[in-house]
Structure 1
Amino acid sequence: MNTADLGLPVDVPSTALFTDQYELTMLRAALAAGTAERRSVFEVFTRRLPNGRRYGVVGGTGRVLDAVENFRFDTAVLTFLREREIVDEETLDWLAGYRFRGDIWGYPEGEVYFPGSPIMRVEGTFAECVLLETVILSILNHDSAIAAAASRMSAAAGDRPLIEMGARRTHELAAVAASRAAYVGGFATTSDLAAGFRYGIPTVGTSAHAFTLLHDSEQDAFQAQVNTLGRGTTLLVDTYDVAEAVRTAVEVAGTELGAVRIDSGDLLLVAHRVRQQLDELGARDTKIVVTSDLDEYAIASLAAAPVDAYGVGTQLVTGSGHPTSSMVYKLVARAESADPKAPLVPVAKKSTGGKTSVGGRKWAARRLDSYGVAEAEVLGTGPVPAALADRQLLVELVKGGEVVAREPLDAARERHTRARAGLPMSATQLSRGEPVLPTEYLHESSGS
């Protein structure tokens, strides 16, 4: 597989070093102890949503599948581990033949989740599963945070399209992942060409203030842009005086001007004035795009303004104040021995301080009320109740080490739209609140 598909530099041969050293030291010790081959079940979940958030959004599943498939210890990686004396020769020999041959189940990308939801379940030997902890968490934590912020912004925007334009506000590789996650969460386009190239996301872009400043006059700048890009282009009108720029824009492009962009000032006030001016000039079909440090709250405040599209950067790629989803990767069951037929035993962290976990290999289902609206996230370790059998959330992603659930990015985007629409109406309120669905646990004896 081409590592460019992962947003990696072309000279990175694999994802195997996207991990923490303790994954390898645990592997080394488990190999020595004879416990490395015990069948194990790890689950990814979050104990709580970011403060005030009402739902989470699964983002990055497709990237996880690519990363797992490309998790290989090639000669360069093994040489690095040997030279640093991170593991011994026995462990290096084991790593040289590493391939994940287990199974992965998970919430499909774009689905919503709640505290405790088993967002991803990784099953195999302890050795093969433990190595994937960091790379899986790094992808899911980042992409889910961006997807959740994007979802809130798209809910606030309603039918008005959102443009992702945060590449210059984050790491260059994170920018590509952020654009992908934003598209899942409801954004329509991106300014980032790498994201367009790798994931097929529609791209947009016209000019910055530098282009206007380059020319001897604003009229010259507008004329150059229209001559090159056509009358349907978007002209940036706040370099100098907005009213004068709008007049000049229509004078140059005519009433067929595609759009104007406003990037500063009191956007609510300026948008109303620009709309009035455009209409008076006969450019009634010219759209208004606003940018300038927008977040979901600013977008909501512009709901009554004559705005046609929003461009969002910094607040989106930083998760609108919550740049991680606080997901963890915990062992919840393991076999009593290395015998492949040995039964699984539930295990769980029981320490104090709020970092406990619930043991056992879990299923998850979403119960609906009589109106067909979600009312609870139900988790269990025993048989799935008949009433929830067709409401299960986890799908098979990897079987016997082979990816079985690749899908177009648009499928995840459409799934999120449906999932969010199936939640109670209060889910999209921007005021702080508790998760919109409670998480209920059914123990094995309660299933029927």
Structure 2
Amino acid sequence: MTTLRPALLTDHYELTMVSAALRDGTADRRCVFEVFSRRLPTGRRYGVVAGTGRLIEFIREFRFDAAEVDYLLRAGVVDEQAAAWLRDYRFTGDIDGYAEGELFFPNSPVLTVSGGFAECVVLETLVLSVLNHDSAVAAAAARMVTAARGRTLIEMGSRRAHEGAAVAAARAAYLAGFGFTSNLEAGRRYGIPTAGTAAHAFTLLHDDERTAFASQVATLGKDTTLLVDTYDISQGIRNAIAVAGTGLRAVRIDSGDLAVIAQQSRELLDSLGATETKIIVSGDLDEYAIAALAAEPVDMYGAGTAVVTGSGAPTVGLVYKLVEVDGRPVVKRSEQKATIGGRKVAVRRHKPTGTATEEVIVPQGVPDRQPHDRLLQRSFMAGGEPVALPTLAESREHLRECLISIPWEGLKLSAGDPAIPVTVVPAG
């Protein structure tokens, strides 16, 4: 299996800019690029920063090998001067930004990349590809976690995503508070707990449902989950308890009117003496479907397609824009896509109780710090070398604390204003 290399995970025009900048002598001008979103996806009240840990690893390994440079030369993407530059490329600049698991809002300076123009511009597509995808998944997953009200969620969307994106999505969902993933590579790579037992195919393989259940219990014991909706759900539950006994850990239901079926299943399990057997539901669940089941006797949710596709918002609209050249702010002035010049510093304001009240962004300056302010940016790379990064577990806890800090209105699934206002202080 070929190991994914990051250098060509980029767009053609970035290397043509490098070629031109090398030729005209501007390639090494000191620049600042910022990653931000002009608006949140429709209906969303906050964004979640995710993918930073993956991104820093990619940038650390961002090199062009001989075969890649030869391809670029043959294809006419770069000239000989740019090819020589690519052969020696390594990022030597600085990267700062919001911690993974941090919330962001319109115009939040999520990531700041500083260095020579050429070494920074060549990272644009990679940065946006990772952060837009992972942040979209994490935001959708965080909304599902809120809707679940403390009940456990399993991410099971691998079959609805590109194989590489499936692993990244599992990581982002776990960051957001999911308890398990079905993806074994995500479990191996990131230490995420994995879960899974059997599909309908295993039941259909056997001559009858009881035989299938008996085989699964014989192999995995009673601490397993039996899928009971291949045929008739009520009879499936009866068969499950008849085979496994009242000590069966859980049954899973993957179809039908889940609200009604969950109630009926709970009543049936209790009548059979399986009062401790849990009910897991799955089947095209998103945050709205999960919220609708809040009052039902459901113990765990399995979510797939909606998680890995960002539940209708597969990107969070992050952009990568040049905001400073040689210490001078630069501004894109087009009416629909204007930018704010200069490097930004951001703080989040809080009440003494810890509730967030405002995000303050200061271009070309330092915020007037107030009690209970929290500086949002931290260093990820300095001089091209990674700074100690938080673990995935630490980032997961950071997001949990951030969600607790925003006003409860900001956690609503209905459309509305961002959870907290963002104030951009005028420069000067």
- Band the TM-score falls in, shorter-chain normalisation: over 0.9
Counting only pairs closer than 5 Å after superposition, residues 309-348 of structure 1 correspond to structure 2 as: 309-335=300-326, 344-348=327-331
Structure 2 letter corresponding to 1:368: H
Equivalent positions of 1:401-416 (< 5 A) are: 401-416=384-399
State the 4+ residue runs in structure 1 displaced beyond 2 angstroms.
9-12, 369-372
Letter in 1 for 2:404: A
What amino acid is the match of 1:377? E
- Secondary structure in 1 aligned to 2:246? helix
Change over 3 Å in CA distance of 1:261–1:70 after alignment to 2? same
- Mapped contact 1:383–1:444 kept (Cα < 8 A): no
Report what 2:31 is aligned to.
40
Q: Secondary structure at the match of 2:234?
A: helix
Change (3 A) 1:328 1:429: same
Give the secondary-structure state (helix, strand or coil) at the position aligned to 1:385.
Answer: coil
TM-score under structure 1 length normalisation: 0.94
In structure 1, distance between residues paired with 2:13 and 2:277: 57
1:29–1:389 CA distance, 2 compared to 1 (3 A): farther
**Cα contact 2:361–2:367 (8 A) shared by 1:** no
Query: Percent identity, aligned pairs only?
Result: 56
Tell me which residue corresponds to 2:406: 423
Give the match's secondary structure for 1:290: strand
1:373 aligns with 2:355: yes
Aligned residue in 2 for 1:394: 377
Structure 2 residue 5 is the aligned partner of structure 1 residue 10: no
Counterpart contact for 1:57–1:113, Cα < 8 Å = yes
Q: Is the Cα contact below 8 Å between 2:9 and 2:125 reproduced in 1?
A: yes
**Residue 385, structure 1, aligned to residue 368, structure 2:** yes
What secondary structure, in the 3-state scheme, does the structure 1 residue paired with 2:229 have?
Answer: coil
Q: Is the 8 A contact 2:348 2:373 kept in 1?
A: no
Is the Cα contact below 8 Å between 1:365 and 1:388 reproduced in 2? no
Contact 1:293 1:315 in 2 (8 A): yes
1:150 aligns with 2:133: no
Q: TM-score, normalising length from structure 2?
A: 0.98
Q: Which runs of 5+ in 2 are unaligned?
A: none
Corresponding residue for residue 415 of structure 2: 432
- How far apart in 2 are the matches of 1:323 and 1:384? 33
Q: Which amino acid aligns with 2:313?
A: H
- Structure 2 residue aligned with 1:273: 264
The aligned residue for residue 245 of structure 1 is 236
Give the drift of 1:158: 1.2
Pick one of 338, 341, 357 that aligns with 1:359.
341
How is 1:218-297 mapped onto 2 (pairs within 5 angstroms)? 218-297=209-288
Of 294, 303, 326, 1:303 maps to 294
How far apart are the structure 2 equivalents of 1:283 and 1:321? 38
- The one-letter code sitting in structure 1 at the alignment partner of 2:270 is D
Q: Is the 8 A contact 1:49 1:115 kept in 2?
A: yes
| SS of aligned partner of 1:358 | coil
Tell whether 2:54 aligns with 1:63. yes
SS of residue matched to 1:163: strand
Deviations 1:366-420 (A, max 9, x none): 0113533111111002122131795110000000000003222111111100011
